[in-house]
Amino acid sequence: MGLAETSLKFSCVIGIDPVAGSSVSNQPKPKILSYIPRSFGLTIPVAVIGTGLGSQGKGILPPFAPNGVNHAEFFLESKPPCCYFLAKDYGHADMLDDWMIKLTSWVCKSGEGDKELMRRGVAGIVVAFMRAFLQGDSEDLNAIVKTPGVAPIQLDPVLLKMPPFVLKRGKWGYLLRYGYLKQKFV
């Protein structure tokens, strides 16, 4: 998020239901979230995949992905280009292997849907995003954004933030050829 120097060269970042602590007032150091829109120090494409049930607790236990430190804030603080996908009917651990889901379901809210579909949905988003931003083939990502129903899970909402320069030119300019101008922009 631009908080530490690294010798590694990243081409994109994908957050799968990211969480930055147990509450706004209880974030581990270094604090990643600043609560300032578009404040992450990243200049590479970002995808954020969140879960609709991650912000709900299980019985008396607190949520694993509470509001204020979950996927929504990561998306808000990401600079364009950035994509956001919310797996509405699934919980924070629902993309894990079945044996792990059985273990975590005792303490973490879990969706009723087929977990294999969740894994396939997340994997499909990751592959489509990487193809679009690393290989220049945005056909699959555009299909998911334009018609979220093509995914095996319910995605609602699906949002894009694109940099203004893409409207003129830029290294992500190829995305415009596939209809991104008709999508929702944040």
Q: Where along the chain do its domains lie?
A: 13-182
Distance CA 144, CA 184 (A): 13
Question: Per residue in 88-115, pLDDT tens?
Answer: 999 999 999 999 988 998 999 999 999 9
Distance CA 44, CA 134 (A): 10
Specify the pLDDT at position 181.
36
* DSSP code, position 26: B
pTM: 0.85
Evaluate whether 160 touches 77 at the Cβ level (below 8 Å): no
What's the mean pLDDT in 162-185? 45
pLDDT at 144 over 80: yes
Question: Per residue in 30-69, pLDDT tens?
Answer: 999 999 999 999 989 999 999 999 999 999 999 999 999 9
Distance CA 162, CA 12 (A): 14
Question: Per residue in 116-133, pLDDT tens?
Answer: 999 999 999 999 999 999
Specify the pLDDT at position 178.
36
Specify the pLDDT at position 179.
40
Q: What angle do CA 151, 154, 160 make, to 5 degrees?
A: 75
